[in-house]
Structures are given as structure tokens and as C-alpha cells.
Amino acid sequence: MAEPTDTPLRSQEEIAARVKALEALLIEKGVMTTEAVDRMAEVYENEVGPQLGAQVVARAWTDPEFRARLLENATAACAEMGIGGLQGEDMIVVENTDTVHNAIVCTLCSCYPWPVLGLPPNWYKAPAYRARIVREPRKVLAEDFGFPIPDDVEIRIWDSSAELRYWVLPQRPPGTEDLGAFELAALVTRDSMIGVGPVKAVGA
């Protein structure tokens, strides 16, 4: 899925340039090594990221008791699967249903549940998304993400903070009754756990 159209390319380039400049400065000052930077990137790409959140979602889809625990205390439920840590100390999961669709944002900065979603996308940190998703969520989801929500479905926006980080339990797609946990996890996308996109279609 394409990133929102109102996130200027220039701003994305500026963010990338700042990250590279900061990385170079940290290495130059001896605060971090190139190897440490590479290792951190590897951790968040392969060991901490949306694939872990997808595993949690798949288990919640197949295990009603785990789903109940996840909705009651997401941090503890994720810890059962060995998932947690920095930026995920206090997480809350909100569930999509036939009548309610949830999406998350951090209106102040870019608070985000890293252990289950990985690195936040640039658009999540952009002022345009942070302001507009609160004011006109239906329009943003339809126009910026190509993800229209029916008019008869309520949209709820959850504002993450340094104290609480929200993420979404998407609905299990129909036609997946015979799929195992591994196959189900492959259907879950990062955007579906933020609430700005769908899960993958079966067979896609």
C-alpha cells in the first residue's frame, strides 16, 4: 500500500537525512559503532517487528481464551509469547468488529508499540497524519490509504502516549477456518494493526 499522499516526499527525505547525520555523529563521537547500528536495525527488522504482532493476532484468532487475555492486558498476553520490551511496557489492544473500526495515532509525537509493530513508518510521525486522522478519519483512511470504511461502521481513534501504546486486533477474514497459525499470521499486515489498512486476502 502506498504511503499517504499528503506526506511530502521532501519531508521524508529530510527525516532520512537527519537520521543518517545523527548516526554518523554517534559513530564519530564513539557513542555507537557501525556494528551496533547495524545490529539494532537487524533486531527491529527481523527479531522485533510486525511479524511478532502478526503471531499474536493469529493466536488471538484461534484461541478465544488468549484473545480475552489480550484484550484485558495486552502487555501480559504478549509476554506469554516472549514478546515485549522497550516501547512496549504498557500496551492496549482494541478490537475491530462489524460495527467498530479502530485506528491509532500519537498526536504529540510518535509513540508506538515497537515490540509488536517494529519501526514506525515515516507517515505515522508526520504532522499531517497526526492532525488529520483525528479530525477526519474516514476521509484520511479512504483518500490517503485507499481503505474506505462503510458509513454504518463507527471509527474510533486511539491516541498513544509514552504511558500507553495502542494497537489494533483486526477482524479475522472469512474463509480462513482451515488455516493454521502460521498461515493466518501471513495475512496480518502492519497497517491492519495500526488500523489504516486491511489484512491480506486469502491467496493473495
Which residue reads 545490529 in cell numbers?
Answer: 39
In the annotation, is 78 catalytic? no
Chain-centroid distance, C-alpha 187: 14
Residue ranges with strand state E in the chain: 91-95, 100-105, 154-159, 165-169
Annotated catalytic residue, options 110, 160, 161, 192 = 110
Closest by alpha carbon to 116, among 182, 197, 50, 164?
50
Annotated catalytic residue within 78, 111, 160, 192: 111
Residue 30's alpha-carbon distances to 22, 33, 47, 65, in angstroms, are: 12, 7, 26, 48
Torsion sign, CA atoms 133, 55, 88, 68: positive
The Cα–Cα gap between 115 and 119 comes to 9
Active site residue 106: yes
Residues annotated as part of the active site: 106, 109-111
